[in-house]
Amino acid sequence: MTSTVAPTSAVGHPPRRARRRHRVLIPLGLALLLIVATLVAHAVDQPDPTDPGFLSPVATGDDGGSRLAEALRGQGMTVRRETDTLRALLAARPGPATLFVPAPELVHPDTVAALDNLPAGSRLVLVDPSRRVLEGLGLPVTPGDRRWATRATSPDADGHPCALPEAARAGTAAADRQRYATPASWSSTSCYAGGVVRVAWRTEVVVIGAGDPFRNDRIDEYGNRALATGLLGGPRPLVWLDLDGPAPAPTFGDSSDGEPAWSPSPDGSAGPKGDGQPGSGGQPGRDGDRRDGGQPGDDRAGGPQPHQNPLWAAFPVWFWALLVQLALAGLLMVLWRARRLGPPVPEPLPVTVRSAETVLGRARLYRRAGARGPVAETLRAAALDRLLPRLNLPPDAPPAEVAARVAARTGLAPDRAAELLHGDEPATDQELLELARALDRLTRTVATRPDDHPTEGDPR
């Protein structure tokens, strides 16, 4: 015998307001997820000036400046790396020099004002300085608009000719991120829509609003190499201030000839005045250490590099950002498949199966779930569907009347009949089995007509 399984009851649909809420929340959630993924990818891609190795002449990573240092040495320049601000100022003091500060935010506020205290003919190059640094120097330069990401533009992108020879020779370069402005009454040069500003201050100061032209991974794009080597190159020696973290507060003292003396050590003990000067007998600190055989001031003797995770360095940054986005997309797919957003819709089975297999499969599901209550309700509903037509009762007959008719037909007590048809939920599997057997006997007894033989069974 075969049967086709059809839905036994209709499932109510949720209110229209709930469906409209889903239609609004799902697109908003997807948009929010896309925005968050974009922000994470942008934050990962942007370098942090406070990280050790950022624009360092000895760092070979993407954010380092080793390729720029090699290019400057290839032009015959002297590149001196210093890791202390005041020592860098002393290194630039003998004559005109170029002082390169790639991370001005790491310079201690008490030392910022001394950055432009350089000999005549010197140049100070600052990368993306903040308002605090500019005000500490007293420069007539104020930060303007800041872009989401660095843009490669031509030197005269704002419609005004660029009077900076280094920028004019470089052409298009990635220097337009943080823009700067100067008062109209002040003599200054602005290029790349305000991304590069030169001010003739006590020392010639060049402010550039992006570090991309100096980075290892961007130096060969557009005219970045020409712009970086032009700003830092020339006949003057280069002093590269490479701070690996926020600089400590300097300790000043008095000396016999009026030169400032200080000690970069945390305990504040003042060292010899000659410390840090070329040719002096003192030990100049980390950059002048001869422990690895380097010469004082040589940027190749800079000490140990910060430890990096080899797995992180094995893949580019965009790979990790893409991996994060794929993980978020997978999580969204899991959530979407785990919870249906709409109401369940009953559908007939696409194939015809044997009724015995259907009953057995459903019984096993009920047993695994321990659903004795729903099973009892199903059995009682099936018994009532067979009893009511035999008793000439409508489907909405009161339970008391049904129990009375069954008791009169079978000889059971009305309370017993009511308990079988509308009783409590079975507490154990044994009680459920006894209920099923009792209902089966009850329906067989009522279904048998008085003139039928009792052993003929149910005339189904």
Tens-binned pLDDT, residue by residue, of the chain (460 aa): 444 444 444 444 445 555 567 777 777 888 888 887 777 766 666 777 888 889 999 999 888 999 999 999 999 998 999 999 888 999 988 889 999 999 999 998 888 888 888 888 899 999 999 999 999 888 889 999 888 888 899 999 888 889 999 999 999 999 999 999 988 878 889 999 999 999 987 789 999 999 999 999 999 999 999 999 999 988 889 999 999 888 887 765 544 444 444 433 333 333 333 333 333 333 333 333 333 333 334 443 344 444 555 566 666 777 888 888 889 988 888 777 776 556 777 777 777 778 888 888 888 888 888 888 888 998 999 989 888 888 888 988 898 888 888 888 888 888 888 888 888 889 898 998 998 999 889 888 887 755 444 444 444 4
- List of residues 6+ apart from 240 with CB closer than 8 A: 57, 65, 69, 79, 80, 81, 82, 100, 102, 299
Domain termination site, one of 282, 306, 330: 306
Q: Can you tell me the distance from the alpha carbon of 244 to that of 83, in angstroms, rounded to the nearest whole number?
A: 7
Helices (H), 391-428: 399-410, 414-422
Residue 262 lies in a domain: yes
Phi, psi (deg, nearest 5) at residue 189: -125, 130
Residue 77 lies in a domain: yes
Same-domain check for residues 159 and 273: yes
Residue 42 lies in a domain: no
Same-domain check for residues 229 and 372: no
Same-domain check for residues 163 and 297: yes
Phi, psi (deg, nearest 5) at residue 341: -80, -20
Tokens 């899991």 belong to residue: 334
Same-domain check for residues 369 and 258: no
Supply the pTM of this predicted model: 0.53
Vertex 333, ends 332 and 337: CA angle to 5°? 120
Question: Total structural domains in the chain?
Answer: 3
Same-domain check for residues 265 and 401: no
Residue 354 lies in a domain: no
Residue 30 lies in a domain: no
Domain termination site, one of 289, 324, 339: 339
Same-domain check for residues 257 and 391: no
Same-domain check for residues 166 and 292: yes
Residue 76 lies in a domain: yes
Same-domain check for residues 216 and 149: yes
Could you list the residue range(s) of the whole structural domain that residue 213 is in? 66-306
Same-domain check for residues 174 and 73: yes
Residue 21 lies in a domain: no
Same-domain check for residues 299 and 428: no
Pull the structure tokens for residue 129.
Answer: 């300085």
Cα torsion 392, 394, 396, 397 to 10°: value is -30
Q: Can you tell me the distance from the alpha carbon of 234 to that of 227, in angstroms, rounded to the nearest whole number?
A: 12
β-pair partners for 306 = none
Residue 31 lies in a domain: no
Same-domain check for residues 249 and 324: no
Same-domain check for residues 251 and 136: yes
R_g (Cα) of the chain, nearest Å: 43
Residue 429's SS3 state is helix
